[in-house]
Structure 1
Amino acid sequence: MVRRMTTSILAPGVASGPEFDHVRAMFSNDPATETLGATITHIAVGECDGHFTVQPEQCNGHGTVQGGILFTFADSLFAGACNAAGQTAVAVHNSIHYIAPAFQGQRIDGVARTVQSWGRNGFVDVSLTCDGKPIAEFRGTFRVLPGKPEQR
């Protein structure tokens, strides 16, 4: 069952052209990104920017945003960047380096850029910042598929 979202992850006017139908459809059915409370503020081919504000339930026992939350946000931006060209792209391998903590109520900004692509493959780097300071660096490898993944 495909769940149609009731709220928009995309900020008004973002990815509004017909060339972005594919990425708009992807984000319109993305409960993981919606659950974060993330907003996508920019999409262009190979690019995706956004932000979210850390909620209490996103923090760990140290009182900092849980690493999996940052990974999920970075992965969402990665997906926006590698799918913006209009083809279905999926992650092959992702990794993240945590640099500094962020806390409840702080806004996390993210910038994703495709840095290299060849054939059906590519790399996307995602930088996460809080108050202009780096908190995490993520690198994802993607592969373009011939069609949308099917549930088995």
Structure 2
Amino acid sequence: MTSPQAIADAVGKLAAERDMAARRLGIALVSMAPGGCCLRMTVQPDMVNSHGTCHGGVIFTLADSAFGYACNSFNRNTVAQQCDISFLRPVAVGTELTATAELRSTTGRSSVYDMTVTDATGNMVALFRGLARTVAGETIPGLGGPEPGE
């Protein structure tokens, strides 16, 4: 039987290969865990808004990518059903951002995840909460995997 960590690692590797939006933004996978992950990116000059700070949509994409990797880490096809974000501070060009995702609760096919986005000094710049829904199929067919919350 494949361990939950090995399953999460395999799913994370495949997600990082397939996620063209994340790749385009320079989002890199740092680590995976069952129900969690860590992604990192550096804010580039073409990612700023009219105020000269990182566009909220870019921060949202980083957090949403972490959400996607984490909620699929059990090798069960899972999609976002609802999510929201709170922006806590502006982010300058050149800032390295880290999004950390954690599973909070699972009931049936629904799970709640929290993503924290921090800068390189550990300051929180955004908090993101997502509701995920497990649908039919596996991310990597035949690999198996535990149900979320097991």
TM-score w.r.t. structure 2 length?
A: 0.83
Structure 1: runs of 5+ lacking an equivalent = 1-14
Q: Note the alpha carbon deviations across 1:37-88, whole angstroms, 9 max, x for none.
A: 0111110100111211000000111010000000000000001110001111
Q: How many residues align?
A: 135
Residue 18 of structure 1 and its aligned partner are, at CA, apart by: 5.1
Greater than 4 Å deviation, 4+ residue runs: none
Matched, 1:81 2:81: no
Superposed CA RMSD in Å reads: 1.9
What SS does the corresponding residue of 2:103 show, helix, strand or coil? strand
Which of 134, 137, 141 is matched with 1:147 structurally? 137
The structure-2 alpha-carbon separation of the partners of 1:32 and 1:102, relative to structure 1 and needing over 3 Å to count, comes to same
Partner of 1:137: 127
How many percent identity over aligned positions? 32
Contact 2:16–2:28 at 8 Å: present in 1 too? no
Which of 19, 29, 32 is matched with 1:30 structurally? 19
TM-score w.r.t. structure 1 length?
A: 0.82
Which of 99, 103, 106 is matched with 2:95 structurally? 106
Higher relative contact order (CA 8 A, sep 6+): 2
Structure 2: runs of 5+ lacking an equivalent = 140-150
The structure-2 alpha-carbon separation of the partners of 1:67 and 1:47, relative to structure 1 and needing over 3 Å to count, comes to same
In the alignment, the residues of structure 2 paired with residue 147 and residue 133 of structure 1 have an alpha-carbon distance, to the nearest angstrom, of: 38
Matched, 1:66 2:66: no
Contact 2:5–2:33 at 8 Å: present in 1 too? no
Contact 2:11–2:75 at 8 Å: present in 1 too? yes
Q: Note the alpha carbon deviations across 1:88-144, whole angstroms, 9 max, x for none.
A: 110000100000010100111111001011111101100001121111000000001
